[in-house]
Structure 1
Amino acid sequence: MSTLVLCIYRGDDLDADPPVVGAEAVEDLVTTVGVDDPEDSRVNCLLEGLRVTRDLDDETVLAVLCGEGDTVTFNRAIAAQVDDLVEMYSPDSAVAVVDSAEDERLVPIIESRIAVDAIDRVVVRQARDIESTYYLLKQFLADEELRKTVLVPLGLTLLAFPALLAVFDSITVSFGAIAAVVGLFLLYKGLNIDALLATLSTSIRDALYAGKVSLVTYVVAGGLALVGLFVGALGASSLDRATAGELVLSMQFLYDSIPWLTGAALIASAGRLLDEVIRDDDIGSAYINLPFVAVAVGLAVRGFAAYVIQRSDVSGPFVVPTMSYGPLEVEQFSVAPETLLAVFILSSIVVSLVGVRVAAYVNSVGYDNLEHRG
């Protein structure tokens, strides 16, 4: 029975063309690599290959597979060398000797060409625990699902921790600042923001070249959102924090900022809808219904905020001024907070229903036109 003992060697510092075949050639390679860098883990891999070749009773052929470059280039080089060895020696099986988890991923390439009886992974004893921990962390960070389920909640918790410290004033501000920095880093990795930033410039350039209306409306929506946050902050800061309370301050902020935020959402969704119309594609019901949803949500939130503010006596009741329509004249009257809330909720429901109806109508008209053209 003949066996191939294959050592994986990453790098381009071999004196001979790969694969290096034979125990004597591998011993010379061990001397060369070991003298140049005694700490190189590849020396241990080559020595392990020599030991396995010595201990096997079979007719063995020791070979060192070598390659460089990116993943695809390296894998193809290893596959070509295995093909040459199989064609030259016609072995019955193989033993793979690797020195890292990264090299162990090449075993399926070898198995696709010859049966692999064993995988011998050699790691320096002092570094075994460190390397195992490193690869576990590397695999953990590469798993998108784990990042979202573990890193994101942990990052949000650390971000909220400084705020709690500032409210209760129970520990130094420096500790909170450190926690905030760590939380931002975890969010940066967990949400994969680095990849989003890498593709942001390309997306903006494509949108400019394509002449998309949504690019302009997004900028306008961002400006309106900033104005809304500023107006809401001004409204909340005008109240006495000692007497108003945190809930009333939050409701005042929402009450003042929600018209601007709703306008931002409306403009952004309208721009996206215009892009679909200009492209003359089938417009999905979501694009048509989104502006109505933005207005409906804005009405509902503003209504609840107004109710809390009026019931807390921060602002007076809503007053309808005197109106006259010819002979008909309506005297000025005030609206109770409960009535005003009911009006806002009813308006929100009506707007959302109108959006659903409009979306269904547009889609039905588009479908009829498509059938007519067909």
Structure 2
Amino acid sequence: MTTLVICLDRTDDVGRRTGLQSPIVGWEAVRALVTDVGLADPEDSGVNSLLESLRVAQNLRDEDEETVVAVVSGERESMVSADRAVARQLDDLIAEHEPDSAVVVIDSAEDERLVPIVESRVQVDSVDRVVVRQARDIESTYYLLKQFLADEELRQTVLVPIGLTLLVFPMLATAFGPAEGAAAITTVIGLFLLYKGFNIDELVTGFAHQIKESLYTGQVSVVTYVVAAGLTFVGIFVGALGVSGLEETQSGEVLIPAAVFAFEGVPWLATAALTASAGRLLDEIIGERPVRASYLNLPFIVLAIGFVVRGFSAYFLETQGEIDPLTVPDLDLGWRSIESFQTTAGERLAVFVLIGILVSLVGVRIAASFSGTPEESTTDADRSDGGQAAEADLPDPGSESELTDGGARSVSATDDNPGNRESAESAGDDLEGPDRS
């Protein structure tokens, strides 16, 4: 079993200090390299990495394992060229020595990024990271700060709010006082944390992307959404006007203003929702795709909810004397005349609720009928295909298995056809010969 002990140097510190080209292979070559690197820069942690490679190789040799010590370095042009140089050197080492496994020795987080390259070419049994004992905490803190500053998203999320706080707080404290400044800063930080916690930025980005795609693809829903937004504002405005027209004693309550707002604004809000859902339904129809039942049922559900909310708000207002009872005008049906009459608050509520239930049932029925058509056609097609498959799977009268059975199955399968029966009997005569007689 051959184990390859590799000391990785991504930034080519060895070549820069000694002028040697990697890979450097062999016990004596690496031990001589330790002296050269140590004389060039005694404070370099690469010396410790080289010594650790030699120590690991010596321990494996004491356990009667064949080891190959090598130092692999990258290039200084770019990180991509450095990784590719390491990959080429590893391929040469593996092709020459054919190791069964490898032990990787590194001395920094930068060199640790080369470990996946080694793992993709040979089995890695161990990764030995060398950290100078006196500088363990300092180096760990340094690499953590370096990784933190290299992450653009973390910088924008943490450093930008801290910097803005340090800049704005002195101004607010000078203008309004320390307490007011601290309160304003705390409020802004709280809003920022809620903004990040609820992923509002992703929601806004997704909504903007959806609007962009809708505009580029020419969807009808873009226009209907704009119309629905306008109708929504009209409904809110009409409801607010109805509430503002109440007397001061009535406006101080909660139930009557809410009922007035619903009674005046629900028709407009329901129309807005109906317009938006109709536009989405038209997009599905124009897109030549199977229309889902939810899109077909949504306009009816919106209309049904509008009737129910309108009925309940009218019931509350009529019982309080805010609106007049519902009056049915004279009707002349030709064969019968109906005189004008007024309904009570309960009858009015029952009529609106009944209309809402009927509208929702009609929507469910229409959605079920349209969504069931593809399934029925698919079922019919499957049934027809299944019939053809069944016919295709019928046993062949001349098959070998039926001939082995003495033609009995062929005769039974062709009883309805006299010609087939005669052919089957003749086939049986040929097979059985004198035994049949």
Whole-Å separation in 1 of the counterparts to 2:71 and 2:11? 17
Q: CA deviation at 1:125?
A: 1.1
Deviations 1:70-116 (A, max 9, x none): 8xx9987765554344234434312153744x976764553232222
Aligned partner of 1:227 among 224, 234, 237: 234
Tell me if 1:215 matches 2:222. Answer: yes
Residues 308 and 330 of structure 1: CA distance in aligned 2, closer, same or farther (over 3 Å): closer
Q: Which amino acid aligns with 1:323?
A: P
**1:176-325 to 2 correspondences below 5 Å:** 178-179=186-187, 182-188=190-196, 190-191=198-199, 193-194=201-202, 197=205, 200-201=208-209, 203-238=210-245, 240=248, 244-246=252-254, 249-307=257-315, 313=320, 316-317=322-323, 319-325=325-331
**5+ unaligned residues in a row in structure 2: which ranges?**
25-29, 61-67, 155-178, 385-437
Return closer, same or farther for 1:115/1:322 CA change in 2, 3 Å cut-off. closer
Give the TM-score taking structure 1 as reference length: 0.64
For 1:4, give the aligned amino acid.
Answer: V
Residue 370 of structure 2 is aligned to residue 362 of structure 1: yes
Are 2:274 and 2:299, in contact at CA under 8 Å, matched by a contact in 1?
yes
Matches within 5 A, 1:40-79: 46=46, 49-56=49-56, 57=58, 58=60, 59-65=68-74
Give the 3 Å change call, closer, same or farther, for CA 50–221 of structure 1 in structure 2.
farther
**AA paired with 1:50?**
L
Distance in 1 of aligned mates of 2:102 and 2:313: 75
**CA distance in structure 1 between the aligned counterparts of 2:181 and 2:279, rounded to whole angstroms:** 43
Residues 330 and 277 of structure 1: is their aligned pair in 2 closer, same or farther, counting only changes over 3 Å? Answer: same
User: Which whole-Å CA distance do the structure 1 matches of 2:47 and 2:348 have between them?
Assistant: 84
1:186, distance to aligned residue in structure 2 (A): 3.5
What is the alpha-carbon distance in structure 1 between the residues aligned to residue 235 and residue 146 of structure 2? 46
Matched, 1:328 2:338: yes
Relative to structure 1, is the Cα distance of residues 62 and 105 closer, same or farther in structure 2, using a 3 angstrom cutoff?
Answer: closer
- 1:126-161 alpha-carbon deviations (Å, 9 max, x no partner): 36468669989x99x99xxxxxxxxxxxxxxxxxxx
Cα distance in 2 between the residues matched to 1:248 and 1:127: 70
Q: CA separation in 1, counterparts of 2:316 and 2:11?
A: 68
- Considering only CA atoms, is the larger Rg found in Structure 1 or Structure 2? 2
Checking the alignment, whether the CA contact within 8 Å between 1:3 and 1:93 is kept in structure 2 is: yes
Q: Structure 1 residues 75 and 298 mapped into 2: Cα distance closer, same or farther (>3 Å)?
A: farther
In the alignment, residue 125 of structure 1 is paired with which amino acid?
D
Change (3 A) 1:188 1:263: farther
Structure 1 segments unaligned to the other structure (5+ residues): 143-170
Question: CA-atom RMSD, angstroms?
Answer: 5.0
Q: 127, 134, 137: which one pairs with 1:125?
A: 137
Q: Distance in 2 between matches of 1:246 and 1:183?
A: 30
Q: Give per-residue Cα distances to partners, 1:1-29, cap 9 Å, x unaligned.
A: 54333436379xx969xx95345879989
Q: Deviations over 1:221-265 (max 9, x none)?
A: 222233333444444455559963456555544444333332222
Letter of the 1:53 partner, please give it: S
Q: CA deviation at 1:358?
A: 0.3
Q: Per chain length, whose mean CA-contact separation is higher, i.e. which structure has more relative contact order (CA < 8 Å, sep 6+)? A: 1
- How much does 1:342 deviate? 4.0
CA deviations on 1:313-359 (whole Å, 9 max, x unpaired) are 4x6255212510123212234424xx544444333322221111001
- 8 Å Cα contact 1:254-1:302 kept in structure 2: yes
Distance 2:73 2:187 in 1: 49
Distance 1:111 1:172 in 2: 58
Describe the shift of the 1:74–1:231 C-alpha distance in structure 2 as closer, same or farther (beyond 3 A): farther
Number of aligned residue pairs: 327
1:95 equivalent in structure 2: 104
**Identity of matched residues, %:** 32
Structure 1 distance, partners of 2:83, 2:318, is 71
SS in structure 2 at match of 1:60: strand
- Give the conservation status (yes or no) of the 8 Å contact 1:68–1:74: yes
What secondary structure, in the 3-state scheme, does the structure 1 residue paired with 2:106 have? strand
Q: Distance in 2 between matches of 1:260 and 1:5?
A: 75
Q: Which amino acid aligns with 1:200?
A: A
Cα pair distance change 1:354/1:332, threshold 3 Å: same
Whole-Å separation in 2 of the counterparts to 1:131 and 1:248: 65
Q: Distance in 2 between matches of 1:122 and 1:234?
A: 76
How many Å apart are 1:363 and its aligned residue?
Answer: 2.6
What is the alpha-carbon distance in structure 2 between the residues aligned to residue 112 and residue 245 of structure 1? Answer: 74
Shift of 1:68: 5.1
8 Å contact kept, 1:251–1:309: yes
Rounded to whole Å, the distance in 1 between the matches of 2:237 and 2:185 is 25
**Equivalent AA in structure 2 for residue 211 of structure 1:** G
Q: Do the aligned residues in 2 keep the contact of 1:292 with 1:351 (CA within 8 Å)?
A: yes
2:162 equivalent in structure 1: none
How has the CA–CA distance of structure 1 residues 53 and 216 changed in structure 2, closer, same or farther, with 3 Å as cutoff?
same
Identify if the C-alpha distance between structure 1 residues 223 and 15 changes in structure 2 by more than 3 Å, giving closer, same or farther.
farther
1: CA distance, partners of 2:374 / 2:88: 56
